Amino acid sequence: MYGWIWRHLPGNAWVKALVSTLLVLAVVYVLFQYVFPWAEPLLPFNDVTVDNQ
């Protein structure tokens, strides 16, 4: 999977490294901004009330 992505990135090794860094950052951003905030309430840390409203 990662090898496939690496082969399909354009340019020489330096450009590839730069583009893959950007890709990683984009994935981390999406995870922190959208995926984790959605997943976190499914875990028990949020249950602090007695009536579970």
Partner 1 sequence: MRVIVRTVSELCVTVGSLIVLFVVYVLFWTGVRADTVMRDQIDELHRQWSRTAAGGHAAGGPSAAAAGPRTVPYVSGRPFAIMYIPRLGFTWNKPVLQGTETGTLKKGLGHYAGTARLGQTGNFAVAGHRRTYGDPFKDFPRLRPGDAVVLTDGSTWFTYRIDKGPYKTVPADVEVIDPVPRKSGYTRPGRYLTLTTCDPEWGHSHRLIVWAHLDSTQPVEAGKPRALRR
Smaller CB distance to partner 1: residue 12 or 33?
A: 33
Could you say whether residue 47 binds partner 1 (CB under 8 A)?
Answer: yes
Per-residue HEC secondary structure of the chain comes to CHHHHHHHCCCCHHHHHHHHHHHHHHHHHHHHHHHHHHHHHHCHHHCCCCCCC
Q: Is 13 in the site for partner 1 (CB under 8 A)?
A: no
Q: What is the gyration radius of the CA atoms in the chain, in angstroms?
A: 19
- Residues 25-44 as x/- pattern, contact with partner 1 by CB under 8 A: ---x--xx---x--xxx-xx
Which of residues 14 and 51 has its CB atom nearest to partner 1 in the complex?
A: 51
